């Protein structure tokens, strides 16, 4: 496995675990992805890698910023995708975003189905259910799928 894949796996696992556990992504996780992404791109492509990492980070931030502004995503998810954008570059980032959207949709449908079923099973409405769905696992899996060799 390449260093790029290792970075994606480690950052993706850290973000997913924290998002599932605390429903939050600490700033150090996307910052690690961003810095490692810039380092990886410069190592691979020299000075051209700086532009590739910057364009990927801007694209990742821009794509998910729309969903954040519409209230469908948290700020940590936007920053995480920007960090992964620096690691992947624009081309791979767009593929990762498509995978993320597909997996995120399946995740949302599964959560809705489980919550609906739980509502049928228990009649009382005592405990408040969390409204947010942790999206870092879908982002991480989308990035990982974009790195699978063809």
> Do residues 21 and 43 lie in contact, with contact meaning Cβ atoms separated by under 8 Å?
no
What is the model's pTM?
0.88
Place of tokens 């998002």: 19
- Compute the distance between CA of residue 111 and CA of residue 107 in angstroms, rounded to an integer: 6
Total residues belonging to the chain = 150
* Tokens found for residue 77: 């998810």
Mean pLDDT by 10-residue block, N- to C-terminus, for the chain (150 residues)? 94 97 95 97 95 97 94 93 96 95 93 82 62 90 93
- One-character DSSP codes across 113-142: HHHHHHHHH-----SPPP-----HHHHHHH
């Amino acid at each position: 496995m390449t260093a790029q894949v290792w970075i994606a796996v480690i950052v993706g696992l850290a973000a997913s675990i924290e998002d599932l556990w605390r429903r939050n992504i600490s700033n150090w996780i996307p910052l690690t992805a961003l810095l490692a992404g810039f380092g990886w791109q410069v190592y691979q492509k020299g000075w051209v890698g700086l532009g590739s990492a910057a364009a990927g980070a801007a694209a990742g931030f821009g794509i998910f910023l729309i969903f954040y502004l519409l209230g469908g995503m948290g700020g940590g998810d936007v920053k995480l995708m920007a960090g992964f954008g620096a690691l992947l570059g624009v081309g791979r980032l767009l593929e990762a975003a498509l995978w993320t959207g597909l997996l995120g949709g399946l995740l949302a449908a599964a959560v809705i189905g489980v919550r609906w079923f739980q509502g049928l099973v228990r009649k009382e409405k005592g405990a408040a259910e969390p409204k947010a769905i942790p999206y870092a696992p879908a982002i991480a899996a989308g990035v990982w799928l974009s790195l699978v060799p063809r």
